[in-house]
A and B are shown apart, each in its own frame.
Chain A
Amino acid sequence: MKVWNRYHTPSTIDEALQLLADYNGAARVVAGGTDLLIELREGARPPQEALVDITFIPELISVHQSNDHVLIGAAVTHDQITKSPLLNNHARCLVESCGVVGGPQVRNVGTIGGNVAHALPAGDGTISLVALDSEAEIILSGERQWVPIADMFVGPGKSLIDPTRDLLLGFRFKVQAGKSASAFERIMRPQGVALPIMGCAVSITLDDSSTIFEQVRICVAPTGPVPSRLSEIEDVLLGQEASEERIEAAISSAYDTVRPRTSKYRATADYRREVIPVLLRRTLHTAISRARQGHRD
């Protein structure tokens, strides 16, 4: 079935923006197409006059470090992320989460930018970017700017940008000093749509003695319409000893602030409430031991 007419492969950002402007709403950005083309085929979106494929723009497909930031182009594929030594070193949670998206065929074309622009409440790559306290670079209404990752999500399936006019260019996050590490885990069910029942990404920094949480960032999703941090638990842990007891105490003291919903054919609220502490324990435990072992990942 024909769901688009023209297919463009611009090689610069300006060219891409120009194409979008020329089509005046009748063209849409596509990266790997693993979300978009399926939506078009299922009729969830009307057929597009044109698709503007941004994966041929060199700037958007690179991963590199610049001073104290790591930069990831929006069109970097999940596969590229899992194989990047830089990200394996500084963003293990992202590597782990992109490593479980779909199967290899999907990871070979699907991109981190597409994952964020698709704005699901629990996109796997997305929640790791949130835990890494990333920023996104976008061109919004013609203006190029950096925004905190949290600002990218407006509602379920709705992001800040309009892919018929705007562009998501990439992400950056600060390289953490000292004893830092991150981890990701998710719970799936073998039935139905391949969306996680619950995913959890954590990114921590311990003090020099490897005992105290200097920094804790946690994203557990879906716990709301958009991916967000579990600041209540983060706050309780901050400055505390990185011990099992403290983690348990934090979970139980802040647990009532987490209110997952029942979603049809995925999970009951009760089930989600049962597994959130499990995921928190497992990921924090992994991150702590990674941080202590000194290798950042």
Chain B
Amino acid sequence: MTELILTVNHQHFSLDVPESRTLAEVLRLDLGLTGTKIGCEEAECGICTVLVDGIPVDSCLFPAFKGYGKHILTIEGLAQNGHLHPVQDNFIKHGAVQCGFCSPGLIMTSVALIDACPNPTDGDIKTALKDTYCRCTGYSSVIQAIKSAASEMRGKAALPVNEPVVEDTERIVGKSVPPYEVRDKVTGKARYTDDYVFPNMLFARTLRSRYPHARIVNIDTSAAEKLGGVHAVLTYKDVPGENLHGLVRRDWPVLCEDVVRYVGDAVAIVAADTPEIAAKAIALIDVEYDPLPVVSDPEYAHDPNAPHVHPGGNLLKHIKVRHGDIEKGFAEADVIVEREYRTPIVEHAFLEPECAIGVPEGVEGHDKLTVYVGSQIPYQDREQIAQAMGIVPDQIRVRGTLIGGGFGGKEDIAGQIHVAMLARVTGRPVKMLYTRQESLIFHPKRHATIIRIKTGAKRSGELVAVQAELYGDAGAYASLSDKVMTRATTHATGPYVVPNAKIDCYAMYTNNPPAGAFRGFGVTQSAFAVEQNMDILAEQIGIDPMEFRRRNAQRVGSITATGQELRESVGLVQTLDHVYDDMRQNGTLQWSWRDGHKAYGWGVGSAYKNTGLGGGAPDKAIAEVEAFEDGSVEVRTSSADMGQGLAHVLAQCVAEEFTLPYERVRVLLSDTDLTPDGGPTTASRQTFVSGNAARLAASTLREAFTRTAAEHLDYPPSELRYEEGLLHYNGDHVEFGDIVRWMKASGIMPKARHEYWAPQTRPLGEGGDMHFAFSYATQAALVEVDIETGEVHVLKVVSSTDVGRAINPLSLQGQIEGGIVMALGNTISEAFIVEDGIPWTSTLSRYKMPSIKHTPEIITRLVEDRVSSGPYGAKGVGEIPSICTAPAISNAVYNATGVRIYSIPIDQDALLRAIKNGHEEVHTTWSDVR
């Protein structure tokens, strides 16, 4: 130990810390400044950025003693006397904060940029923030926020907020109120799971399989147990209840007993005094494996001779859509196009790696075994923990913390059960934080999918038949594969009227990482195929691709391939019209052109996506609303806000119903003891179901308010009027808080609860309403291809999205921009590579999500074709923006170069070779370069 002298946020420190510390560790662990976040520890993500003598550095890779004597500025030091720094303030105003996990890093990097360059251009911003990632926003709002802050700091006016145009607004619904807790997110106060610290806390690590498929012969934990500072080493023998978990099908061992099925399968867990000791201990556990043959691709998995991943065989589910008469359909077709497409395994790369903390009953004021976790499904977590612990769910409390991004990747169990077990055994709080590298290999991903699709149309441009076969790589465990691949199947006709369809999807177990929920839920995969076949057909028929889509578009009254009649809220045609308008320059639309060695092309894609679980699954959410004497109202539900902005949607609905100022509504989410079940945060359902539950609970409470007030004031209820938190009557008014007091005095709890059931749906195969609503989108992408190098750049994306109703336009735009950029990553840069079951993508440096450099200009237009059962007409928006980007870009590349891309991410290497050799098709991708 040597004394470390530092100035941090203008305060002088002299610290006695180990020389092995990084600056991030000193800040977070020794100084408790948890505003600085850790996302990778590889100098890749940049979210740990702090300023050292004014210069941005990655604090995760900066030895603390390198900073000896220097001045460190962190996110906590930016605001002065309670006044936000202009960068913080503008990040809020321009909607540049979603989950907020990246915000400290982005803000610090931006502050340094403006200091060095007071009037930054887009180019300056893209250079300065190139390696500071955000997975949520898509960066457009970030760029605008920085320019606006810079302008203010030069003494000029802030820039206008780019908001999408909405049809009309209510008092609060339809307005861009700032997201909930956003101030905490830009000042570093917001706490994510790893920011919680309990006295006496232990640190846990997981020993994971090194083999994709192997029999466990023996597990010897004796050496690990003897290591000083180790408090527990647990294996399958120590699982008190059922040693299986799983969201749909319980097939995933809590700790593997006899077989491991993928690299990353958990074999043993350790709790120790420090993370270092825990890591040392897992290295001392000796597991003897007997390797088994590996099933590494879904088509091979279907081969009768393939080894079995699970005793019941490899077929997890065969999903079928049958509609009309497929033979007759193709017989009517003048043009038939049959192609094969491939999409890769995709990683969520949420910036906050998984973390869970277990606190035993009776410790630190916890009256039951409590698990802190940033989870998308708190109630199901609780149930799964209970099952594995062999206790009833009521004995467990799951407390949701802020989530640093989820996108579907935080629905499955990660460390929740493990920390509960370790906390029980040690009697102490236990934290399990995954490293980025562990997160990468462990959690379920997007299904790699092979799609063979045959589409037939008449010369007149009328679609007549679609036949498709899909192979989805479900990986080692079921997770949500059944549901995800069902969505891929039911959406495989695209948002069109197709009278005859036959679609078969095989979700196959393999020894690859499990696949589960991922924004777009299977529909991203089928859309990649459907929308390119549409363009190929249009070209062969000789019809404009927009017109072809328009002619076949679903409309009110159309029947889907699952036999559902669409009775309302089908805004597809309008989205096509919007995009067509925005693509044209000076009235004309040029699909492609050349300029020197650059080829340019536009491409389009359309999509639809269900809102809610559908398929006959009971889809409900409960919300509770309570009023307080101080005039505030709290809305409670266990739904998760992972950055998509559910909290403010709920607050807006409640404020609207009560005609209360938005600031007076508090939101409490995700606590199984304090908030009622909101169901899973998945399938773009929360605005719809929890939004409805909150709205209806609020209106029930408001009626009770009115009754009490009418009685107390002796005034007819019909003449009472709510306005801005006051109740007006007869020219006079009373405060909200007064009514609460009156209610309490007469023994009425100022509280209401509503259990909202979404409209009934029906299972696939039965016809009728499989879903209660669909969102629609059309996007066009403008690409630039360097025909000398094959490099592809997406310059612009024009989008129009039918969301039913925009409850918060700015945050909605954030969802759309973020969704588009995420999908752009899927098309251009992202693939999780697994070689014979062994992940090559074992570090973040091997997985590139889009950086600010990749952000195209994005135009967001909205269609508000209201759905009568949605809150104020709203339907889901979380997923629809991510679905048609990939085919739009691929179609654009074709239009620019004449080469069609059948496999993503687009490989510039193969594209260039195709251009040079006069080939029209590219079927390989980056992972085929070996």
Contacts and interface: CB of A to CB of B under 8 A. Distances in A.
A225 interface: no
B344 to A, nearest CB: 10
A270 interface: yes
A30 B66 CA distance: 11
Nearest to B105: A105
Contacts of B109: 104-105
Of A7, A103, A274, most B-chain CB atoms within 10 Å: A103
A278 B598 CA distance: 13
B43 A265 contact: no
A102 B131 contact: yes
A187 B791 contact: yes
A53 B66 contact: yes
A42 B843 contact: yes
Contacts of B847: 192
Interface in A169-207: 187, 189-194, 197
Interface residues of chain A: helix, strand, loop or mixed (majority): mixed
A224 to B, nearest CB: 19
A265 B42 contact: no
Contact of A108 (B55, B68, B840): B55
A34 B276 contact: no
A41 B930 CA distance: 26
A264 B18 CA distance: 40
B846 A41 contact: no
Given A265-B840, A274-B912, A274-B913, A9 B854 contact: no
A267 B41 CA distance: 27
B67 to A, nearest CB: 10
Contacts of A118: none
B215 interface: no
B58 A105 contact: yes
Contacts of A105: 43, 46, 49, 56-58, 109, 131-132
A51 B61 CA distance: 14
B46 A103 contact: yes
Interface in B888-930: 905, 907-909, 912-913, 916, 926-927, 929-930
Interface string A256-285: 000000101111101100110010000000
A57 interface: no
Nearest to B833: A265
Contact of B131 (A5, A103, A187): A103
Given A189-B909, A265-B929, A271-B913, A104 B43 contact: no
Given A3-B20, A38-B61, A103-B132, A194 B845 contact: yes
B20 A271 contact: no
A268 B55 contact: no
A193 B930 contact: no
B65 A9 contact: yes
Interface residues on A, range: 35 or more
A191 B789 contact: no
A37 interface: yes
Contacts of B43: 34, 38, 102, 105-106
B128 interface: yes
B905 A104 contact: no
Nearest to A83: B116
Contacts of A104: 56, 109, 127-128, 130-131
Interface stretch (B226-234, B804-812, B823-831): B823-831
Contacts of A55: 66
Interface in B809-863: 828-831, 833, 840, 843, 845-848, 851, 854
A95 to B, nearest CB: 14
B324 interface: no
Contact of B61 (A2, A33, A278): A33
Contacts of A265: 833, 840, 926-927, 929-930
Contacts of A236: none
Contact of B926 (A6, A37, A102, A191): A191
B539 interface: no
Nearest to A4: B20
B873 interface: no
Nearest to A198: B789
B279 interface: yes
B722 interface: no
A6 B279 CA distance: 20
Interface in B46-77: 46, 49, 55-58, 61-66, 68
B926 A7 contact: no
A105 B47 CA distance: 11
Interface in A238-267: 262, 264-267
Contacts of B791: 187
A189 B56 CA distance: 26
Contacts of A79: 55
A62 B174 CA distance: 58
Contacts of B913: 268, 270-271, 274
Interface string A108-124: 11000000000000000
Contact of A41 (B42, B840, B907, B927): B42
Contacts of A30: 63
Interface residues on B, range: 35 or more
A278 B715 CA distance: 85
Of A1, A6, A55, A192, most B-chain CB atoms within 10 Å: A192
Contacts of B128: 104
B122 interface: no
Contacts of B916: 274
A2 B789 contact: no
A9 B41 contact: no
Contacts of B46: 103, 105
A23 to B, nearest CB: 14
Given A38-B61, A109-B62, A191 B830 contact: yes
Contacts of A275: 788-789, 912
A268 B63 contact: no
Contacts of B846: 192-193
B49 A278 contact: no
Contacts of A187: 789, 791
Interface string B17-57: 01110000000000000000000011100100100000111
A38 B437 CA distance: 12
Contacts of B790: 271
Interface string B118-138: 000000000111111000000
B19 A6 contact: yes
Given A34-B43, A275-B789, A191 B57 contact: no
Contacts of B66: 7, 9, 33, 53, 55
A264 B929 contact: yes
B929 A266 contact: yes
A271 B909 contact: yes
Nearest to A189: B908
B204 to A, nearest CB: 15
B275 interface: yes
A246 B18 CA distance: 62
A51 B63 contact: yes
B851 to A, nearest CB: 8
A179 B642 CA distance: 59
A5 B20 contact: yes
26 contacts: A3-B20, A5-B18, A7-B19, A7-B65, A51-B63, A103-B851, A104-B109, A105-B46, A105-B57, A105-B109, A105-B131, A189-B908, A190-B848, A190-B854, A190-B905, A191-B829, A191-B905, A192-B846, A192-B926, A262-B929, A268-B909, A271-B908, A274-B916, A275-B788, A275-B912, A278-B789
Top 4 nearest A-B pairs by Cβ distance?
A103-B131, A190-B829, A271-B909, A7-B19
Interface of A: 1-7, 9, 30, 33-34, 37-38, 41-42, 51, 53, 55, 79, 102-106, 108-109, 187, 189-194, 197, 262, 264-268, 270-271, 274-275, 278
Given A187-B791, A193-B845, A274-B912, 4 more contacts: A33-B62, A34-B43, A106-B58, A192-B848
